[in-house]
Amino acid sequence: MPPKNLLGFGKMSDQKNNPAKQALPQNAISPRRAEDFPEWFQQVIKAADMAENSEVRGCMVIKPWGYGVWEQIQSQMDKLFKKTGHKNAYFPLLIPVSYMEREASHVDGFATECAVVTHHRLEAVKQPDGSVKMKPAGELAEPYIIRPTSETIIGAAFARWVSSYRDLPLLINQWCNVMRWEMRPRLFLRTAEFLWQEGHTAHETSDEAVKETLLMLDVYESFMRDQLALPVIKGEKTESERFPGALSTYCVETMVQDRKAIQAGTSHFLGQNFAKACGIQFQGRSGSQEHAWTTSWGVSTRMIGTMIMTHADDDGMIMPPRIAPTHVVIVPITPKEDTRDAVLAMAQDFAKRLGERSFAGRQIEVEVDARDKNGGEKSWEWIKKGVPVRIEIGPRDMQEGKVALARRDRAHKQKDFLLVEEALEKLPSILQEIQDSLLARAREHQNAHMKKIDSLEEFKKFFTPTNEDKPEIHGGFALCHWAGSKDDEAKIKADLKVTIRCVPFADSFKESGTCFVSGKPSKQRVIFAKSY
């Protein structure tokens, strides 16, 4: 049995001990996951050519391969929203400060993350050396906030649109960018500007609003499981972790490969707080004026970061087929010029025929990499990008009517040689096999690093790094009975950088016990973890 590295991702590279393997790098990513997981994550993004840091602090440029993933997320998720009755709209980027002030706890929660616009023009000022500098001029009577989220400005619109119970429910979604002035930005996890969708709804009754909140949480869960191959856990946030201004916040949490948690999406029951602040009132069935019950829910480009941290390996990205911009890349191998045209023709014909087939409701997306580059170099680029299937066609394959098929969820040198018709027939099911294998692999990893813990001593040991040089290596998800106070929760966070990720819904977490901190009775276990 090969030795596993500290993070449990399989054997370390034996490249140094095997000169024959040095023609191509044994691992594309340096450092490897076991050496420096946060830096490995950044290097995967770079190697896969998904995004890069921009000149604007904390902001990123999403490159075509990375944006192609976001396009798939957006188009597929948008269909699910529309199936549940939601319609898309667009609201202003700039929000008057006075709007944010209407809901006290909301503005408190976002105050430190707000970017503020105070002037409406620039003035050119000539310098003594002849250069020109621009300085702000035309101070605004009221500053604007670049939206960190849109509850207040959408609430103002809802107040204009709703006058009777007959106008409800109002089910709106927008796809847009937001800005939150992150102190420690990371690509696809926490950037100052990011892309997201935010749903906002208004309802006649509390029960209807709660039902909506949980419905959208279910949509997120199924999408992340079925499309992104993420085994998320649904639950409710504690009061300390709620969205500012919400009565209840529900979430989907998942474990990435270094055993930390990522909150992949949230859905909020806002009660009547924002309706009262924004004046969303309607004439009820009895004729009296009532305030609406509202919700909001959102996911962002953080899902891409979560997907990378869950599925990528030391060779780069591994793309779940259902979300991949390209399902199959065909790499023609043309060592001799006199066979080049014939091999390219076979590759184009195979691509055309494969593109007429479908997988998971999409036409199979095929790309022929006809660049004038070495075949091995091209293949290695696609390995790093994580394309689900690579097809290589060379002169011998052409003569035999075969193709060489490599799956990204397997070792990069493992290939199956299939007849053309056999490959065309099998590829849709192969793509589904890859999708299933990624979900199973992630679920196995998550289950292996969840542990029931019933004492504070064991809890501290679980979250104490096993190696002082690698503080990210710790236990994973601690499943603990909880009946502690907000102060108890805050102390654990301060001492160990561990938080309650959620109070899970699943029956498997519901059992009577004793809180490991307060000693009080508890009806179920919660999930504690370190997080991004």
- So what's the pLDDT on residue 473? 63
Judged against a pLDDT cut of 70, whether residue 408 lies above it is answered with yes
Judged against a pLDDT cut of 70, whether residue 467 lies above it is answered with no
Judged against a pLDDT cut of 60, whether residue 338 lies above it is answered with yes
Stated as kind and residue range, the H or E segment containing 419 is strand 416-419
pLDDT in tens, 266-285: 999 999 999 999 999 999 99
Exposed, middle or buried: residue 190 (CB in 10 Å: 0-12, 13-18, 19+)? middle
Alpha-carbon distance of 350 to 389, in angstroms, equals 14
Judged against a pLDDT cut of 90, whether residue 225 lies above it is answered with yes
Cα 202 to chain centroid, rounded: 27
SS3 140: strand
What is the arithmetic mean of pLDDT over 432-441?
98
- So what's the pLDDT on residue 140? 96
- So what's the pLDDT on residue 290? 98
Residue type, 455: S
pLDDT in tens, 14-53: 333 444 334 445 688 999 999 999 999 999 999 999 999 9
Q: Are residues 351 and 330 in contact, defined by beta-carbon separation less than 8 angstroms? A: yes
Judged against a pLDDT cut of 90, whether residue 524 lies above it is answered with yes
Percent of the chain residues past pLDDT 70, beyond the cut: 93
Judged against a pLDDT cut of 90, whether residue 335 lies above it is answered with no
| Contacting residues for 178 by C-beta, under 8 A, at least 6 apart | 146, 147, 148, 149, 150, 193, 194, 196, 198
SS3 171: strand
Judged against a pLDDT cut of 50, whether residue 12 lies above it is answered with no
Domains annotated on the chain, with CATH? 62-122+134-310 (3.30.930.10), 326-430 (3.40.50.800), 450-529 (3.30.110.30)
pLDDT in tens, 74-109: 999 999 999 999 999 999 999 999 998 887 677 677
pLDDT in tens, 181-221: 988 899 999 999 999 999 999 999 999 999 999 999 999 99
Backbone phi, psi, residue 326, to 5°: -125, 130
The tokens for 147 are 């939206």
Query: Using 50, 70 and 90 to split pLDDT, how confident is the model at 71?
Result: very high
- So what's the pLDDT on residue 470? 58
What is the arithmetic mean of pLDDT over 490-508?
96
Q: How many CA atoms lie within 13 A of 5 on its CB side?
A: 19
What is the arithmetic mean of pLDDT over 298-312?
98
- So what's the pLDDT on residue 26? 67
Judged against a pLDDT cut of 60, whether residue 513 lies above it is answered with yes
Residue type, 427: L
Predicted TM-score of the model (pTM): 0.92
What is the arithmetic mean of pLDDT over 371-397?
95
Judged against a pLDDT cut of 50, whether residue 121 lies above it is answered with yes
Judged against a pLDDT cut of 50, whether residue 259 lies above it is answered with yes
Alpha-carbon distance of 446 to 125, in angstroms, equals 59
- So what's the pLDDT on residue 296? 98
**Closest C-alpha among 300, 302, 275 to residue 289:** 275
Query: Using 50, 70 and 90 to split pLDDT, how confident is the model at 411?
Result: confident
The overall average pLDDT reported for the chain is 92
What is the arithmetic mean of pLDDT over 277-294?
97
Judged against a pLDDT cut of 80, whether residue 3 lies above it is answered with no
Q: Please state, in angstroms and as integers, the Cα–Cα distance from residue 179 to each residue in 115, 185, 191, 365, following that order.
A: 7, 12, 8, 33
Pairing of strands 389-393, 358-359: unpaired
Judged against a pLDDT cut of 60, whether residue 59 lies above it is answered with yes
Query: Using 50, 70 and 90 to split pLDDT, how confident is the model at 6?
Result: very low
- So what's the pLDDT on residue 198? 98
Percent of the chain residues past pLDDT 90, beyond the cut: 86
Question: Residue-wise over 416-430: b if at least 16 C-beta within 10 A, else e?
Answer: eebebeebbeebbeb
The tokens for 51 are 């995004």
What is the arithmetic mean of pLDDT over 458-468?
84
- So what's the pLDDT on residue 110? 80
Helical ranges in 291-394 per DSSP H: 302-311, 337-355, 375-385
